[in-house]
Structure 1
Amino acid sequence: MSSTTDATAPATTARHWWRGGHVVALLVLALSLLLVFLAWSQMRKRELGLAEEQFRGSAGRQAALVQLHLNNIELTLRGGASLFTAVEQPTPQHWRGYVDGLQLQSRFPSLLGLGYAINVDAPGLARLQEEWRDAGYGLLQLRPHGQRERYGPILYMAPETQLNLGARGFDMYSEPVRRQAMQAAMDSGEPRLSASLVLMRDASHPMQSLVFYTPVYAGPVAANVQARRAAMRGWVFAPFRIDTMLDGALQTAPMRLPLRLVDVTSGNPVVLYQDAGVDAEHAFTHSLTRPMYGRQWRFEFHSGPHDAAAPQLAALDSLLYAGIATSLLLFALVWSLASVESRARRLAARMTDSYRLSEQRFRSAIHFSAIGKALLDSHGNIVECNPALAKIVGRDAEALAGQMFDGLLDDGDTAADDAQAEEGGVTRQTRSLRRSDGETRHVQLTYAPVPHEPGIDLARLVQVEDVTERLRAEADVLALNRTLEARVAARTRELSEANRALEAFAYSVSHDLRAPLRGIEGFSRLLSEQHAAQLDDTGRDYLDRVRRGTARMGDLIEALLTLARIGRSEPQLDDINLTELAEEVAAGLADADPQRRVQVSIAADMQAQGDRALLRNLLENLMGNAWKFTRDRADARIEVGQSRDDEGHLWFHVADNGAGFDPDYAGKLFKPFQRLHSQEDFPGHGIGLASVKRIVERHGGEIRAEGSPGQGATFRFTLGAVAGEDA
């Protein structure tokens, strides 16, 4: 019953996790969509604000252009008034010459002309008509006829077109709208605009027009209204149509905004001008009221629809769709991860069972081992031991549990200081041990750390091997055999032969691995070429991974063969010009990757003594790594040089400004298959720097690595005392 419960528990937990993981995926989808919509809403609001701000700025600038255009017309009118200051009574020829010099049609195409109207009473009008006739200008006929207190007939009007000549004699002071503006200009001494009116020439087809008046006085402008009225001579005026005036004023605007222009001087607003489509729906509107020479004008600007007023909104909508697509992709990714983790937990449950079986096998191996073994806690106490150790000590295994292991050893044994530390925390030493019957035995102790497990106090595994008989035999051999040196030499030769045989074996194994590897690659290639259509995307992806794995395995085998060749061959020392060798390697890298632009600096006259082939391999690895790790730098630099330290030793170096590495892990760089960067970022097999280290050591030198992330790396190496002295 218990076993059934234990078997079903992992599956139940896995199912619960499967459900929880997929709920998380749904939450991620909902949250990501919410964030996308919030971001889109905020950005849309900001874009609308910016568009409205730009619209308001454009509206203000266009209103200012209209104001500037009227200012320029005012200056023209004031120039005409100045003519009457310079000449007591200008003639029609004077006026025509002045107006022709202004080039009105090119400068102010909206003006219909520039004229002068005189200010006279009834007796003055009779004298004026007589003088006009005597001067040979013909009859000055007043229109409209009738007796009035004051008159303001037009005397001059240029350019002298038929319509302008027909206006001569028209009493503008008789018409209320014109009289109001003329009276305001006379009383204020400033230019004044009329209200909207219809010009005489437009009587058959009425069009809204305005007349701009500037007063002309006999002498300087007086300080009060009565004095100004007494000194009033007449008015320089310019009639114009409102629509053509706006066209001329706004012709320099980058984009003309739809406009409604309203005269709000009186309580009854009058629309002076209105663009087509103003009454349609608009994204923004902006109203500006400006004083215009005695009138109050309200500029009502309209932006047009949203797509015209804020064209960036279309791009934001595209970003919204992209954000929704990204959220869906993220959801698919999290959903996939949840499914993968569910499978991983089921696999972990199976691995737990496998671990228990492995632990049982481990305990069986310890129990039935012929060598004494004991598990020690962090204080050095025996947690568990096997029968072989109990036999060596001469006590029961149960009685040894909980005792200090060092208490079984001879405290006066000087061999305790001769412990030998090995890689991985393993230490070995030979000590003396007192059995329960008082006999002293010599034992070989091997301490190895045990991986820490939470809640279990196990620190080390000690292996106890009784070497008493062996040591006695060695003592006998030492006493009897006087030819120890010859035997040591023989054993050394045997060891060298064994090492060579081991290297040859590694070389042979590396070669033999290629045959099945070629088979895997060949059959996977055939499967890809001939049966790819029968596989789904996942199957083709697995197949691509197999082929990439075989290619990488091939590279690793080739690297192992290179490493084996370096270990077998004896260096053939010769005088080497490292400068020339580095230049050859740099040229090869540039030829292999012509698109790269790398600044390579190589010091001149670098001399060393060593094996040419090995040193070329060394430079190819170091400079090749520098070339590879500067791939993402636009200003990639590689430097090959030499320098001497404080003790006079010659050091060569290869430096770059590439990706660099964490200096805390510099010790891993020269170990086979140790990499500090991912295969995806920088491909490689992890053998190159191990080969470099072996080459340097074969030359009696040493190598060091310096670097920091994102700041590049520098590799410094020596080639032994011979190379340093000769160089």
Structure 2
Amino acid sequence: MIRGKVRQVAALRWRTAGLLLAVLVIVALPYMITRGGAQQSLTAGELVTRSAEVEATVYRIADQTHDSESAIFHLLENDPFAHAQSIAQSAEKTVPPLLERLRALTADDASQQHLVDQLAAVENGRLALMHKAFQNYQQNDHTGADQAMSDANALFRVDDIAGMIVENARQQLEQRQERATQQSINNRLVLALTAAAQLLMLTIVVVVSERQIGRRLRAEIGEREAVQRSQLIFQAVREPIALLDNNLRTLLVNAAFSELYGVSENSHAEYLDDIGQGAWMDEVLQQRLRDVLLRDRELWDYELTQRTIDGIERHVVINARRLQQQDSDNPSLLLTVSDVTARALVEQQVKELNHQLEGKVAQITDVNRELEAFSYSVSHDLRAPLRHIAAFAQKLEHHLGGEVDDTTHHYLGVIRDASRRMAQLIDDLLVFSRLGRGALRLQGVDMQTLVEEARVLCESDAHGRHIAWDIEALPVVVGDENMLRTVWQNLLGNAVKYTGQRDVAKIHVSVRRDDTGNYVFTISDNGAGFDMRYVDKLFGVFQRLHKASEFAGNGIGLANVRRIIMRHGGQVWAEGEPGQGARFHFTLSAIEPPDAQQWLSP
């Protein structure tokens, strides 16, 4: 939520910057272009005016020189006119300032400056000879005056240089007029582009503004809809909820709160103490609620027993947290109530059941002690008589010596064999008892290794037999290694034992996954098989489906398998047909260690 507000603020800043840039482009760019064009136009006009002024100044210099020469010629021809002498001397006064003015006008053109320097030299020489001619005239030396004027016309030709300056000025004038015309065209083009840019920027501003207005309207509509949905959800929640101000007065309550405490859904500014006929008068609770408002400490799972408006005592759990209102500096309090009356009753029942369970556990403990005592008795008290029976049978046979007939020898053999079978039954019964009481030592178990160990052990007890083994790749499982080793030794041992009458025994070990993902291990053989009508007896203690004379055993191996698999949370079952072999299945969880290889022996 905070990130969203930060993005909105950043977007607003970027939009403001974009609008300011647009305004700057629309207002400042045309001003700068217009000002630059006007300045360029003014400069071009000044250059054109300067070119015309250069031409006029050159003509004035030439005119002043010719007027003075004309006045001197009139004086020499004795045809003076009014002010002839002053006009004859006027060129000396007016021409030098005009030359300086001409230099100033052509200061930005080196070629013109060079021509002006030539013109000044010629003018100075011609004015000097004209001055000499006027002095000779005043001394009545008309011959000398004529010679000076003739030399002035021959040596200092002002008109040629003046014509060159005028021609150069006219060429510059044409060039400057062309540049001024091109500059005017460029200015009009720039103004046209500026106008297009203004239209584009205005269009962008209008489009962006319209989009922002549309987004704002959609956001307002979405906000109103969100508020309406929130109100619907707030009222539909079955958990009582109330919003209180900083004085613990109601601002908003939902339907569940109103129904449970008898307050109107439109209730405002009603103190919490006055709600529910004293249901909220608990001083500790009110202090905790004020701490939430003042110190922003959330209230979690405060348990309280209240008598609500319906007169029923309820066990409730109260939670509260502080909220900051956007339109106010004062915080508000969100209060939620959970009715846990049913849970409290269940907890009471659980306590009672736990008490009963403790009694059962004590009983089971006593039974286990009795079983352990029985196991000890079987292990020690029953073994001693068996040993005595076997020992005295052997002593009796030795005592009789050669007087023992075949019948007596047979009877003594039966006694010894029965003693050994009884001792083996006791050992197997103790193993069966320990399998049900010992703790599981869970670890990663490589089933492939266990099968190979069991196979080697079975082959060592089946000398001279031809056994065809078909063992698939088996996984690593989690279990008690010693117990699972017992499973494989019993199942593979049975497969080898009950295929003893086959020329070639075929034993197949496979694994698959069932629908729940657990492993299903299968051991199948082509041995004697069994009748499925008696399948329930297979896994019972001392239950056998074949005669001891046909196949040795005491009928406890499969009972051990069933107990071990069940302690691992699996199942075991069998399928068979007389003379067609048997298939034994058992399941184990497919949960593997995090790294199965770390459980394997190097």
Q: Give the structure-1-normalised TM-score.
A: 0.33
**Structure with max Cα Rg:** 2
Point out the structure with the larger helix share: 2
Point out the structure with the larger strand share: 1
Q: Give the structure-2-normalised TM-score.
A: 0.39
